[in-house]
Amino acid sequence: MLPSSLREKDGLARPGLYLRFKTRRYLVLAVIAFAVVTLFGRAFLAWFGTVPRVFRDAYPPPLPPPPAITSPLPPLYENYHHTELSLPQHHWDQRRPSKDEKFLFVAGHSRGCGWGNAMQELLLNAYMAYKAGRSLVFANYTWNDNGSPYSEYNGKKIPSLIPYSTIIQGPIVGAPFPYGDPTPLAVHRDYFDHVCPKKLTFIREDISEIIDFKNSAKEIIDGWHDKLADVDEPCVQTAPNSGQIFNFDVFGDPRAMIDIWPELSASPILTHFGWSPLVELAFDTNRDMFLPSLSIAPYLTSLPYTTNADRYAVIPGLMALHLRRGDFAGHCEHLAGYPAEYNAFSSFPDLPDPFVPPRGPDADENRAAFRAHCYPTLEQIVTRVRELRRTHAARGLRKLYIMTNADEGFLRELREALWRDQDWQMISSSRDLVLNWEQRHVAQAVDMLVGQRAQVFVGNGWSTLTSNVVMMRMANRIRPDSTRFW
């Protein structure tokens, strides 16, 4: 016979078993009670829409949402500006130039344009001062010079002025010329204004009237050289309102650089051109995207400065693509209306992809053919990369870097399409760069450095960013068949 209770079995009490039974029963009752209260509470809230005051007062009020995190203001690069003013060739105790000081300042330099345009102009102005035997007077990369520290671009604040030394290094921004070169060192505009309260001013038309081919960089520089050869005045500038000496008409003409290139490419302006320590640090930080895996190459920022060609050698296995999107959708349509040829620095005769603008009877077909080179579709990009990867210059490619201002959605689709089409060890883009607060505003220069060093570079012949990359590759004698266009 089974025991009639948990207390009785063979006439013995079982207290432990009895307590476990009681505990289990109370636990079941507690769970039931909790469920009833929860259901009652939900029903109460559903009926009355709020918690009764008596219950609200028993708990502290909820915390307010955290404040929105606003983006910091852009950097103003005060330390770089201070360093430029502290160059040893600046003799601030002087009130007038010494007998061996002669200056040239292009006061009508570009404003409100992209870094690619400003860089091309700065290089030619520097070469013009070099040929004239005068100190180049450099200012800032200028968005506007109305006195405001910040400007607006695409709804975002940007620095109005950026010291050039945040982007480049070398003789252009006051570093010494190669040993034995007697050219006087470049100086900052503030020093020029300090020792030159009175200046001899020329206007652009003083020279352009005697030039046969007005877009020829060589004729322009030779004209200014001859004009300045007879000038003893140490303080010379162009009129601020006379505009650029080298403008889009020059840089957009495919013939403009051909005659001057042998001299320009051999000058210290290019042979001793360098990217700034800020830009090189960004490259070093992100070098796993570009260099071969387990590379033992030294960091750029650890090397003493030598020459352009020695410092920025080709990176084996790297292909870099420059894909200009955004405003280029409309710009390409505008260019197709001319129709425009490639920029001057993208038109070297040795390059394998010369562009002849389509001029057939069907305007729509002409524009479509033009867009394939200026604003290619995703499918056209993938096809072109596949085609170029089969060339001899592209042997051994493993990493792909995309220099672009495209949005994240387009980049995601492109990356997936490139992965499916070809075998890559890594595909990365400008959007993947890890940049600090100051580097974000000079990021285009980081892309230029990568494109300059790529084993194979594919660019947009109408973009000044591409043109500058091509110029550096040609100056460093990188094989021409590795520089391609869409």
The domain ranges of the chain are 1-62, 81-265, 288-485
Q: What is the pLDDT of residue 59?
A: 52
What are the structure tokens assigned to 418, written together? Answer: 């490139």
CATH code for residues 81-265: 3.40.50
Percent of the chain with pLDDT over 70: 86
Q: In which band, very low, low, confident or very high, does the pLDDT at 293 lie, cut at 50, 70 and 90?
A: confident
Looking at residue 74, its amino acid is P
Give residue 243's pLDDT: 87
The fold adopted by the segment(s) 288-485 is Rossmann fold (3.40.50)
Task: Please give the pLDDT value at position 158.
Answer: 95
Q: Is 190 exposed, middle or buried (0-12, 13-18, 19+ CB in 10 A)?
A: middle
pLDDT (tens digit per residue) in 243-265: 899 999 999 999 999 999 999 99
pLDDT value for 337? 87
Please give the DSSP secondary-structure letter assigned to residue 480.
G
Q: What is the pLDDT of residues 59-69, one digit of tens each?
A: 556 667 766 65
pLDDT tens digits, one per residue of 45-60: 444 444 444 444 445 5
What are 427's strand-pairing partners? 400
Q: How far is CA 396 from CA 252, 400, 424, 486, in A?
A: 34, 12, 11, 21
Q: Is 34 exposed, middle or buried (0-12, 13-18, 19+ CB in 10 A)?
A: exposed
Q: What percent of the chain has pLDDT over 90?
A: 77
> What is the tens place of the pLDDT at every residue in 297-345?
999 999 998 999 999 999 999 999 999 998 888 999 999 888 899 999 9
- Statement: residue 16 has pLDDT above 80: no
Note the pLDDT of residue 26: 53
The dihedral built from the CA positions of residue 467, 468, 469 and 471, taken in this order, carries a sign that is: positive
Helices 217-229 and 115-132 pack at an angle, to 10 degrees, of 40
CB 187 within 8 A of CB 89: yes
Q: Are 92 and 194 in contact (CB under 8 A)?
A: yes
Distance between CA atoms of 27 and 21, rounded to whole angstroms? 10
Which pLDDT tens digit goes with each residue over 237-247? 999 888 899 99
Tell whether the model's pLDDT for residue 160 goes beyond 70.
Answer: yes
CA 62 to chain centre: 45
Distance CA(8)–CA(258), nearest Å, equals 112
State the pLDDT confidence band at 25, using cuts at 50, 70 and 90. Answer: low
Average pLDDT, the chain: 88
Q: What is the pTM of this model?
A: 0.84
Distance CA 438, CA 72 (A): 11
Residues in the chain: 486
* 102/31 Cα distance (integer angstroms): 93
CATH fold match for the domains 81-265 and 288-485: yes
Cα-Cα-Cα-Cα torsion 402, 407, 412, 418, nearest 10 degrees, comes to -40
Best-predicted range by mean pLDDT (18-32, 202-216, 444-458): 444-458
Q: Is the pLDDT of residue 7 over 90?
A: no
Owner of token pair 């960089």: 217
Q: What is the pLDDT of residues 354-366, one digit of tens each?
A: 999 999 899 999 9
Residue spans of beta strands (DSSP E) within 61-204: 103-105, 135-138, 140-142, 150-153, 156-159, 161-163, 168-169, 187-188, 200-202
